[in-house]
Chains A and B, each alone.
Chain A
Amino acid sequence: MLHFTIRRLVLAVPTLLFISLVIFLLLDLAPGDPMASIPLTVPPEVKEKMREALGLGEPVHIRFLNWLYQFFVVEPQVAFDHIFGTNFAEGKQRIISFQSRSPVMSVVAERMPQTLWVVGLSYIFATLIAVPIGIISAYRQYSWFDQLGTFISMVGFSIPTFFSGVLLIVVFSVTLGWFPSIYDTTHRITDWPSFWFQVRQMAMPVFVLTLYNAAQVSRFMRASMLDNLNQDYVRTARAKGLSERVVVLMHVLRNSMIPVVTVIALGVPNIFGGAIITEQVFQVNGLGQMLITAIYASDAPMVQTLTFIFAVLIVLFNLIADIIYGMLDPRIRYD
């Protein structure tokens, strides 16, 4: 297994390099101008100077190599310096956002807390809720619980977050006044009241995302459980006199988890992608909101860096999913 992991990691390097090139070229060829949002009152020759100051005058391959150097050499050095107090990266050019002229990675670090709190937590909640719902729904197929679960996941699936989010705001912020409609990213938890405030401001966005994610996972879980419940080995297990609890939770669940693990593992990179719409609705201003504003502003370095980080995470979690298969089902061996 170790051999397999190392081989996959080594193979990932050219894949990722290729991905980064593709992203870079796509962004470069895409129409759009970082100066487009500047008011028309700023004359074109001034805009041209601003473009030059952003480094857009350099040829494509130079800009790509620069980005690679900055991403793989300078940024890790900066991180290293930050942790160990050294100064390897001193005076070196970091990846700079066109919009704010600040290092992209420090903005990413700034946005990480709210994204992990809101999107990450909702993903954990969704998984914790969806797996039991899927199991019970399948075991008691067509019972009232299954019907209710199907209904809720249908709702979660089909109602877009920009609708459910605004609906919650209208009900809980405007009418009832229970929760704030705008997320305060400067809030620090220092005591119980401030913790309670954090809970309240997270309640609505987390609920919206949990509903959405849980819907998906619970459907997969249910379908996979149903496939396995009718298998011969389940009858054998029952015939051996094993309790229902052991049959369902040890035998059926373990076998049913394989497709579900794929769905869950490949969903994790999405946490870091943020939730573009939900973040916008509640002004959470996490990574998703950052990505969408960067796209609107044609902020190529930021879009490039973020999408590349997603690519890395997707490759990584694909590998993790493959390793978990091996753990769940000993018959799966890659060596």
Chain B
Amino acid sequence: MKLKTALMGTVLGTVATLSMAPAAFAERGADGHVNIIYYQAPSTMNPYLSGGTKELESASLVLEPLARYDETGAIVPFLAESVPTVENGGVSEDLTTITWKLKEGLKWSDGSDLTSEDVKFTWEYCTSEGGGCSQSEKYNDVVSVETPDALTVIVTFGVPKPFPYGPFVGAQAPIVQKAQFANCTGEAMASCTDQNFAPIGTGPFVVDEFKTNDVVSLSANPNYRDPAKPAFATATLKGGGDAQSAARSVLETGEFDYAWNTQVAPDLLEAMLAKGQGQLVSAYGTLVERIMVNLTDPNPALGDERATAAHPHPFLSDIAVRKALSMAIDRALLTEIGYGDAGRPTCNVLPAPEIYKSTANDACLTQDIEGAKAVLEEAGWVDSDGDGIREKDGVKLSLLFQSSTNAIRQDFQAIIKQWWEEIGVETELRNIDASVFFGGDAGSPDTFQKFYADVEMYANNFDGTDPEAYMANWECVQAPRPETQWQGNNMPRFCAEEYDALVAEMAETGDINERAELAKSMNDMLMQEYVIIPLVDRGRLSAHANSLGGVILNTWDSELWNAADWYRITE
């Protein structure tokens, strides 16, 4: 405790010790100081300049969207009066306009009024030419934003939008102040360092000092809409170190109150928890660690047509081989080794929200080595020359398995290799630095889009709760190929007319239950074709001190989404 008081600085320390009032009657700033640690430090406070999680989340303390997702994935109004839907008339029947009403009397932290003009400006700001706004996809298809009065915003889309909650919703698309950013559009976006480091917001906190990639000092927003919140007068968001030291600072030394993403080996966390200083919170979102199967031939001899649809894969184009690869994997064991309580085995590439979750593929949860062998046997893949590797018509089952450099992924690779060799599939492993693998440089042969390998493993998810764009990843046109400068998300180069038809249907369907059915059948098609082999549904694992109350871990929005409700538990 001595240590903490010292950390707060003498003045704040006095405030903290004087205020022993119970949390329920707390007034703004009554609970002193809160320390948050993100082992990846934020480099800017402007989420429009960086798509990174660390920036989105730290900015969410200051900037707010019209509505956020809550911990169940439901959309809850923040700056807006209510969430517009077709039922309440907020979304037009033809699904092309959405009308948001702002709450009355909202103020920016500098005391000026928040108006619909600021909302409109946010759209103009992110879509301005030459700015390189990282969230511009959120404003896709928006043709105009009208402001009939100071509290009304009408967003018009160029096409019907069954899910119109892209613009101004979630941590990715918060509202920025027009007065502050008016001169920062287009190419000037990056040079407005002062604005980007200390944006004026409507959130519970205000930036006092920002040190890039190091620390953010914040204090309570004097104009926050709820006069009783936030309970903390000041906050520090420190960055740096690694997940383990972050977990230690909360669970063992008690220097910090909240640690983000404490993804550490399960047994280490166990030992830290024994100290009794804090606790872990976990929640699941849509992040799935998966193996992508290449349906095209990555043989270097093919030159420019390597890994394109022109040449089907010599053996992975046989569904029996793909199925056997999936059956040979023990997902429960992988989860236990790699993620402990922060993961669960999954058989779906679309694991959540609940309504979209298919149960049709759950057979994959049990490993079946014998079954896998039988499947290969039946399809004619036999080991005729006794070298332990199956072959058919002179084609050997010999794979190159690539992934990004990461301790857990290399463990996974080694274990999976063993299982695959057991069923007679020779596996060569390869790992590539993440900045190259995910870099998307069309000139590099090592990117995950080029996929110059037979199978590859990584994790992916989608923003928010609507899987439409995510499921559209496996349309034919999404296949990375030379014509698209090797961009696209359809790594397996999967191409099926039925699938494309489902994607097109979903884009026109407004009813949530029908949408769920469509998404499920797309998921099932991918799973039953075994072009994607899902492994682990990866949860979010964070830690907070026992004395920090009000934490609700949210995987659909920023983890710090409800920091306004956090308080100090006093004994």
**A interface residues, Cβ below 8 angstroms from B:** 31-33, 35-54, 93, 96-97, 99-103, 106-107, 110-111, 169, 173-174, 177, 180-182, 184-187, 191, 193-194, 197, 200, 279-285, 289-290, 293, 296-298
Contact = CB atoms under 8 A, between A and B. Distances in A.
A281 B245 contact: yes
Nearest to B438: A36
B137, B236, B275: which has the most chain A beta carbons within 10 Å?
A: B137
Nearest to A289: B240
Contact of A185 (B6, B191, B196, B211): B211
B7 A44 contact: no
Contacts of B242: 280
A183 to B, nearest CB: 9
Contacts, number: 197
Contact of B7 (A184, A191, A283): A184
B440 A43 contact: no
Contact of B435 (A106, A187, A296): A296
Interface string B108-140: 000000000000000000000011111111000
Interface string B1-23: 00100110110000000000000
Given A101-B49, A180-B7, A280-B240, A49 B435 contact: no
Contacts of A40: 438, 460-461, 489
Interface string B207-219: 0010111110100
The list of the 10 closest CB pairs from A to B, nearest first, reads: A53-B132, A33-B439, A44-B487, A50-B132, A100-B212, A101-B190, A100-B43, A283-B240, A99-B43, A36-B435
B436 interface: yes
B51 A197 contact: no
Interface stretch (B247-255, B351-359, B497-505, B511-519): B247-255
Given A32-B433, A32-B439, A293-B41, A185 B248 contact: no
A173 B43 CA distance: 28
Nearest to B404: A36
Nearest to B239: A285
A256 to B, nearest CB: 41
B128 to A, nearest CB: 11
Contacts of B240: 279-280, 283-285, 289
A186 B253 contact: no
Interface of B: 3, 6-7, 9-10, 37, 41, 43-44, 49-53, 130-137, 187, 189-191, 193, 196-197, 209, 211-215, 217, 236, 238-242, 245, 248-249, 252-253, 255-256, 275, 433-441, 444, 446, 460-463, 487-489
A200 B245 CA distance: 18
A41 B463 contact: yes
B214 A37 contact: no
B241 A182 contact: yes
B132 A102 contact: no
A39 B189 contact: no
B439 A35 contact: yes
A50 to B, nearest CB: 4
A197 B51 CA distance: 37
Best-buried of A36, A52, A200 by chain B (most CB within 10 Å): A36
A110 B6 contact: no
A274 B393 CA distance: 60
A163 to B, nearest CB: 14
Given A101-B191, A181-B255, A285-B215, A37 B238 contact: no
A44 B255 CA distance: 40
Contacts of A297: 43, 435
A32 B435 contact: yes
B241 A281 contact: yes
Contacts of B130: 52-53
A54 B189 CA distance: 11
Given A33-B441, A102-B212, A182-B249, A42 B137 contact: yes
Given A40-B460, A49-B132, A110-B211, A31 B441 contact: yes
B79 to A, nearest CB: 23
Given A33-B439, A41-B462, A44-B440, A100 B44 contact: yes
A33 B215 contact: no
8 contacts: A40-B489, A46-B135, A49-B136, A101-B193, A107-B212, A173-B252, A173-B253, A184-B236
Contact of A280 (B52, B217, B241): B241
A283 B238 contact: yes
Contacts of A44: 440, 487-488
Nearest to B130: A53
Nearest to A53: B132
A92 to B, nearest CB: 11
Contact of A42 (B10, B37, B134): B134
